[in-house]
Structure 1
Amino acid sequence: MCEQNAAEIRRKVDRFLTRVLKPGRYLGAEWNSIHKEWESTRVHMAFAFPDVYEVGMSHLGTRILYHLVNSFPDFLCERVFAPWVDMEARLRENEVPLYALESFRPLKTFDVLGFTLQYELSFTNVLNMLDLAGIPLRSGKRKAGDPWVIAGGPCAFNPEPLAPFIDFFLLGESEEQLPQVLDLMAEQKENPRPRADFLRRVAQVQGVYVPEFYQVSYREDGRVQGIEAEPGVPRVVEKAIVKDLDQAFFPTEPIVPYLEIVHDRMMLEVMRGCSRGCRFCQAGMIYRPVRERSPQTLLGQAEKLVRSTGYEEISLTSLSSGDYSCIRPVVGDILARYGGEWVGVSLPSLRIDSFDVELAAQVQKVRKSGLTFAPEAGTQRLRNVINKGVTEEDLMAAVGAAFRAGWSGIKLYFMIGLPTETQEDLDGMVALAAKVLDLGKRSGVRNMRLTVSVSSFVPKSHTPFQWEPQERQASLAQKQQYLKERLRDRRIKFNYHDVATSFLEAVFAKGDRRLADVLEHACRAGCRFDGWTEQFRYGLWQESFRELGLDPGFYANRTLDYDDVLPWDHLESGVSKKFLMQEHWKALREANTQDCRFAECTGCGVCPGRGVRIDLKG
């Protein structure tokens, strides 16, 4: 695409924008969006979310980092999202490069393009956005005038399939880390150094991983033999972490979109981290330790959010909001202050064993929507394997309390293919559903609605189950069919995830750098929005693996040994590999590990290793 300025791009886009789905995705200029002067700022960053606008604008991290960067006088940050397929076609047809929403400037003119990696099946969107921007896909092919391409988010804890495309990754929490990186970029612009020298400087920042400084070798059987760091960079990259959440930056004048987004409400982050220790859960490991915000801080933030946005709902967000030690007084204070202004509160994540029916009723006084509970497994034995820490009695007590309080819609969330799963565990899911229906009937619930949602287990890096294989697709499909037949009841809605999608997620979740060629081949063949059912093209993926001579089952379906070198062994979440091994061993013995907030230290290694500690405000 030829070089174009912002005015030219805007004129061209105006001509075809009415012919694409949801034009508001591509306009910018929303309430509270920030428009800085290009010439008066030293570093220009485009924050890139590799999915559609409605998904990206619902992500709290997007809001935090956008406003954080713009809070510095020397830095400018604008946004870009993956254009839907109709908009992509128009951009290519009219030779318009991908642009940033605030200024319509082409992405290629920015100093840095920063991607957030929330989901492995967004990787093709990353490459497609680079291609639409006219930026070379491979970092080794970029010239001095091209933007630095960086990435962070949970998938950065195993970014190896993307390693050849990204100049460097940011591991962990970026509130302090990203401004340090941008300062170094400002210095680099004013006093340019050779590329390698700059990257060595930036590699000294906590949590920055520069892939080209780490050489990977492989055994004849395909396993990783070793990962060697070049002199002058950390042998193991340790994540960045915010120690005091009360002092961390939080935006109180967030952007208010013109079109409805997935989570169209104010968001208050009440805490970070989770110490429940579910052995399948990557977030519960990589975001440790638990750190809470004080009620005073939250109420001050809520006051500003209400005044600056006009929203009528505040969502108290975290991995498990019901675990926040001050949840009752904070909810009560928010409703007391703003209930008269028709501002409500939502709790997006509630655990069975921390379910408080009075609290749930308090935040849903106007309308009782459905409640979701996640037993995860159908038997207590398997719940012990995954360290879920809840019992059937907990579930029935929570559901019974909900029925008595007037709820009629319940959703149960399970996983199939968990390590050690048997036929008895599948039958246990069916039995639990029947018991919930029976309890609803005995409680006099009218128009009972039960949704049973089943996903396939995907092993993730930095978890106790990182050594486990994913069950074969054919077996998972058989289990889905079995449950579908056993859950035939007009009161039950049965949902399940596509097994091919979950398989590809597992491939990239446990993959290494050799998958980069497959990723690029699939992208050029037309793969994008792989997490969207209507866009997922599994045949093209199969063709790409065949063309490149790689077996995807080698990554997804292979059991790993404790002495294997893992593709992500040079990247550290703070949770020690020794602890993960112990937890895996305990899982096979069906033994539980207690929550360290209420019991003795479990020895995961985060607190002493990172100089932080659990911070509870209650």
Structure 2
Amino acid sequence: MLDSEILHRVNRPARYTGGEWNSVVKDWEGTAIRIALAYPDTYEIGMSNMAVPILYDLLNRQPDVLAERVYAPWTDLEAALRQRRIPLFSLENQRPLKDFDIVGFSLGYELTYTNVLNMLDLAGIPVLAAERDSSHPLVIAGGSCCLNPEPMADFIDAFVIGDGEEVLLEFLDAYRGSRGEGREKLLRRLASVTGVYVPALYHPEYGSDGLLKSLTPAVPEASVKIQRRLVGKLPPPPFRPVVPYIEVVHDRAAIEIQRGCSRGCRFCQAGMIYRPVRERPHEEVIAAAGELIQNCGYDELSLVSLNTSDYAGIDELVGKLSRRHPNLTLSLPSLRLDSSSIRLVGSLPTRSRTGLTFAPEAGSERLRRAINKPLTEADLLETAATAFERGWTGLKLYFMVGLPTETLEDVASIVTLVDRVRAEGRKASGKKPMIRVSVATFVPKPHTPFQWSSQEGEDSLRARQEVLQHGLSHKGVRLSWQDPRVSLLEAALSRGDRRTGRVIQR
């Protein structure tokens, strides 16, 4: 699809060549259903996503199905594609997206919505679902953003609500049964699959106040309420994930050891929508680790979960993996903020002791209780002291500003807490520790207890940032924060209705 002249002119051409280790190239003519798994961000980010490898493996294990990958091109390649009128293509067979039967997008971040539209346009596929007919691919989407699918309803033919691996094979059965019968019959049959939402089969009604009043099914096949699909038991992880030729964001092997979280932080969408907690058995994790090492050649393994510390027997699992694979570096993200997490990480071999990151989220105990993260300051300082006593010279702390009921006093409490953490470091080692403070802005998300909470305006958020910038300006603290405008846009997209699509398209 791309000649060498174009590849020599773009940055990181290996993003677009395919042919990576463990990539699956099937016979195009020998398969009945051809699916493009589209990730609406760059290759480096998309290759670090855990959902796409699961679906890629599941689909390519079906004899009559072909699944290939496509990522959003960087601006240099996009310009070349548009100039030469080359349609966006898949990596494995280098086929234009418009040749596929189904194009499936993974939606995990609202600010990639415009990338979806751009990729469809680059592919020569009509952006609006209403303008597509049976000659075009079916455009579907899944992922956490689909728990409020309405902002993208004008562009997506069908949404998968919940765990994709639980729905996808039923979805394909419905697709096979209606293939060749026309687009309307296909959409109606897909709508009969539990967990599938087809926007074109629903009629929105708005009240005199401009708010959404109702969303009514227009055909019998469309359910009044869409049931979120969940896997009861986590399926085996992919043993042969694609290994990129270039460095990506998370350049390591990964095993999902647990899905869901029981903590219930009131701002956290993932903690709400991925309930209940489902754990992968120790034996399965250990077996998968061996397969990944053998098939991929990685020397680092991440044990992925929303809260790794809550996984039953995590200490025992880490010990078994360390003994069985002594040259393997283990990464334990998302640790609970307590001294037991420090002891867990401290038990790892020295090479696995990467930086420690914790998320107090708020500076005051009052606000932490309000967001259902009831950590006391004594707990936080004890954890920091344990870390410094065990040899860590720095910590990274995540906070959030703009939370419901927050005052400027709560924001100032972040400064006080960071200063006390630094004092614990000096007490333990006699040296000034390095504290990295990352500050996000609260974004009210659908299906959380705070979904209807108001969001602070840009001026108010910048005032909070100034408090932190002034209070944490001394040496030994590195402060980073998110642009408030990005958070305001994210909130609008995450809570919008179908009319938001007009803004996205513009």
TM-score, normalisation: structure 2: 0.98
1:114-139 Cα distance to aligned partner (Å, 9 max, x none)? 00001000000000000000000011
After TM superposition, list the pairs within 5 Å mapping 1:37-436 onto structure 2: 37-189=27-179, 192-230=180-218, 231-245=220-234, 248-339=235-326, 342-353=327-338, 355-363=340-348, 365-366=350-351, 368-436=353-421
Q: CA, structure 1 residues 294+512, in 2 after alignment: closer, same or farther (shift >3 Å)?
A: same
Paired amino acid for 1:179: L
1:236-259 Cα distance to aligned partner (Å, 9 max, x none)? 1011110012xx142101111000
Uncovered stretches (5+) of structure 1, i.e. residues with no partner? 1-8, 522-618
Q: Distance in 1 between matches of 2:12 and 2:431?
A: 39
Helix, strand or coil at the partner of 1:493? strand
Helix, strand or coil at the partner of 1:356? helix
* Contact 1:280–1:463 under 8 Å retained in 2: yes
* Contact 1:416–1:476 under 8 Å retained in 2: yes
Equivalent position to 2:431, from 411, 429, 446? 446
Helix, strand or coil at the partner of 1:165? coil
> Taking CA–CA contacts closer than 8 Å with sequence separation of 6 or more, which of the two structures ends up with the larger relative contact order?
1
Question: What corresponds to 1:570 in structure 2?
Answer: none
Paired amino acid for 1:353: D
Q: Distance in 2 between matches of 1:83 and 1:300?
A: 36
Helix, strand or coil at the partner of 1:374? strand
Instruction: Give the count of matched residue pairs.
Output: 505
Question: C-alpha displacement at 1:428, in angstroms?
Answer: 0.9
Question: C-alpha displacement at 1:82, in angstroms?
Answer: 0.4
* Contact 1:98–1:129 under 8 Å retained in 2: yes
Q: Distance in 2 between matches of 1:30 and 1:170?
A: 28
Runs (4+) off by over 6 Å: none
Q: Distance in 2 between matches of 1:15 and 1:440?
A: 55
Question: C-alpha displacement at 1:445, in angstroms?
Answer: 5.0
Paired amino acid for 1:306: I
* Contact 1:346–1:363 under 8 Å retained in 2: no
Question: C-alpha displacement at 1:215, in angstroms?
Answer: 1.1
Q: Distance in 1 between matches of 2:261 and 2:342?
A: 22
* Contact 1:79–1:102 under 8 Å retained in 2: yes
* Contact 1:43–1:185 under 8 Å retained in 2: no
Helix, strand or coil at the partner of 2:170? helix
* Contact 1:369–1:407 under 8 Å retained in 2: no
TM-score, normalisation: structure 1: 0.80
Question: C-alpha displacement at 1:362, in angstroms?
Answer: 2.9
Q: Distance in 2 between matches of 1:92 and 1:481?
A: 43
The percentage of aligned residue pairs carrying the same residue is 48
Question: C-alpha displacement at 1:354, in angstroms?
Answer: 6.9
Uncovered stretches (5+) of structure 2, i.e. residues with no partner? none
Paired amino acid for 2:238: P
Equivalent position to 1:33, from 23, 27, 30? 23
Helix, strand or coil at the partner of 2:406? coil
Question: C-alpha displacement at 1:395, in angstroms?
Answer: 1.2
Deviates more, 1:196-205 or 1:310-319: 196-205
Q: Distance in 1 between matches of 2:301 and 2:401?
A: 33
Helix, strand or coil at the partner of 2:374? coil
Helix, strand or coil at the partner of 2:154? helix
Question: What corresponds to 1:468 in structure 2?
Answer: 453
Deviates more, 1:33-42 or 1:121-130: 33-42
Paired amino acid for 2:183: R
Question: What corresponds to 2:500 in structure 1?
Answer: 515
Paired amino acid for 1:239: R
Q: Distance in 1 between matches of 2:454 and 2:217?
A: 28
Q: Distance in 2 between matches of 1:96 and 1:104?
A: 11
Q: CA, structure 1 residues 355+374, in 2 after alignment: closer, same or farther (shift >3 Å)?
A: farther
Paired amino acid for 1:398: T
Q: Distance in 2 between matches of 1:355 and 1:104?
A: 49
Q: Distance in 1 between matches of 2:269 and 2:241?
A: 28
Question: C-alpha displacement at 1:437, in angstroms?
Answer: 0.7
Output the aligned Cα RMSD.
1.2
Paired amino acid for 1:139: A
Q: CA, structure 1 residues 99+354, in 2 after alignment: closer, same or farther (shift >3 Å)?
A: farther
